[in-house]
Structure 1
Amino acid sequence: MNLLPASRVRTGVWPWLLLLGGVLALTGLALWLAARPPQEGSPAVTFARDMRLHHTQAVDLSMRILERPVSAPVRLLAQDIAVTQGAQTGQMGGWLDIWKLPFAGREAPMAGMDRSAMGMASDTDVLSLGTLPAAQAEVKYLQLMLQHHRGGVLMAKSGLNSGVPQVQTLARAIAVSQTAEIALIARMLRERGAPVPAGLPAAGGGMDMDH
């Protein structure tokens, strides 16, 4: 048998062992980073908290209009928003539980943000859905939800930049679905001869998302 000298075996094996060790170390680091939950103050945590609050109002608006005798298309839209955004609110709350973080940090969600620029309805507008005549409340709901969705699409950008895959996936889904519903709601308003809000008061002023 023509065996290789032991020195040559050692010389040939060690580089491969070192390379394998390096690969395993990098793999372990990647797995540790992937498993390490987002920390307090990170974009992912801020997104989950802020979007939960934003979604909660959309569900509230939708549940209020479902108590009124509105048309079938508006009822279907409100039901879809209530179910979809309610489920997403639960999903984001689940993340915070898994990350062992509270639903609110030192500051309340959306603290310091211009809520009207994010499409949030005022308390007066929210209450009007229960006091206006049904046909007017239907139009009011559509107008409020159009602005609300515009704000939701803007807020989704922070989730897309979070660096956390599951957060990015949800943020992308929110942006896509709400952009599509913006076009639908604008069409429903036009069908009713009602004005389509031009844009958000500040941050969204230049966004044409209803075409």
Structure 2
Amino acid sequence: MNRKLWTLLIPVVILGLAALVYRQAPRFPQEGSAAVIFARDMRLHHAQAAELSLHLLERPVSKEVRLLAGDILVTQEAQIGQMGGWLDIWGLPFSGRQAPMAGMNRLSMGMATDAQVNSLDTLSPRQAEIQYLRLMIQHHRGGVLMAGQGLKSGVPQVEVLAQAIVNSQTAEISLMAGMLRQRGAAVAVGLPGGSMNGMPMKP
């Protein structure tokens, strides 16, 4: 093969190798995708669950509620770290052009107000337990609703975590509803600003 032919073939070979490398390179979720929105929004949502649990753990509450709050704190902090790790690997910041949950009705996502969070410090221990259980039921209902974004992401590891959130938080909603009834407290139906597929979400 003469030198002239080699000169013509080399660019073709280089382009072919480059295309092969590109096809085999990992395709990370991009800005604005369902996976990225889910990771950012759920990190913020989980952060408030951790905050609520920390407030309650500073009070002299019953052993069963303390164990629940501790489990929620550990689980959601771990998942916050997992989702933050994804964003790092994907080369994206924890917040995009819009803050997490921008444009959402936070009450309809189960987010507590500042006054509700702070009430855990001032209520009697028994009333703080009841308030925590009520707030966490609403918070988990919102979390289950938000997990739908992850379930539609098309990214396997994101869908696995989203399904785990649905499973664990649905189970905890039932557990907390039982705890409220044991304390003679009412369990609200649905979320303040909406519900799943137009149907009330019951505990």
TM-score by length of 1: 0.83
User: Shift in Å at residue 136 of structure 1?
Assistant: 0.4
- Answer with 1 or 2: which has the greater Rg: 1
2:77 matched to 1:86? yes
Q: Name the SS of the counterpart of 2:65 in structure 1.
A: helix
Residue type of the alignment partner of 1:36: R
**Structure 2, gaps ≥5 residues long:** 1-18
Code of the residue aligned with 1:65 in structure 2: it is L
Give 2:117's aligned amino acid. Answer: V
Q: 1:64 matched to which residue of 2?
A: 55
**Alpha-carbon contact 2:189-2:202 (below 8 Å) kept:** no
RMSD, matched Cα: 1.5
**Does the alignment pair 1:176 with 2:194?**
no
Q: Provide the C-alpha distance between the structure 2 equivalents of 1:152 and 1:99, rounded to a whole number of angstroms.
A: 23
**In 2, distance between residues paired with 1:92 and 1:209?**
28
Unaligned runs of 5+ in 1: 1-24
Q: Percent identity?
A: 66
**Alpha-carbon contact 2:38-2:150 (below 8 Å) kept:** yes
The question of whether the paired residues in 1 share the 8 Å contact of 2:141 and 2:201 is answered with: no
- 1:94 deviates by 0.5
Deviation at 1:64, TM superposition (A): 0.5
For residues 199 and 157 of structure 1, what CA distance do their matches in structure 2 show?
Answer: 17
The answer to whether the 8 A contact 1:120-1:148 is kept is yes
Normalised by the length of structure 2, the TM-score is: 0.86
* Runs of 4+ displaced beyond 3 Å: none
1:209 corresponds to: 202
Query: Does structure 2 conserve the Cα–Cα contact (< 8 Å) formed by 1:66 and 1:78?
Result: yes
What is aligned with 1:143?
134
Q: 1:106 Cα deviation (Å)?
A: 0.5
